[in-house]
Amino acid sequence: MGKIFPVIYMEKCNNCFLCMDLCKNNVFAERNDRIYIANPAGCSLDCCMCQKQCPMGAIEIIIANDKEE
């Protein structure tokens, strides 16, 4: 399996910070009243609570392929 990381679609995000509150791995942080991904390596497929609970559907967990072509 490849590396996983969260993506925030800022055009959908309402900066409610629910993802930051739910994340036990401190993947998200706040700066200037905006959410951002501070620790992408902390993301776990065992959780995905941010993606499941985001009221705006603004978060997606991506699996990046490690293979070089």
CATH of the domain at 28: 3.30.70.20
The answer to whether residue 23 is domain-embedded is yes
Residue 49 belongs to domain spanning: 3-64
Whether the Cβ atoms of residue 12 and residue 56 lie closer than 8 Å to each other? yes
> Which SS3 state, helix, strand or coil, does residue 54 take?
coil
Structural tokens at position 45? 């497929």
pLDDT tens track for 15-24: 999 999 999 9
Tens-digit pLDDT profile for residues 12-46 = 999 999 999 999 999 999 999 999 999 999 999 89
Number of domains into which the chain is organized: 1
CA 4 to chain centre: 10
**25 inside domain:** yes
Residue 29 lies in a domain: yes
- Model confidence, pTM: 0.85
Query: Residue 56 corresponds to which tokens in the numbers above?
Result: 């705006």
Q: Place 59 in a pLDDT band, splitting at 50, 70 and 90.
A: very high
Q: Examine residue 69 and state whether it is found in any structural domain, yes or no.
A: no
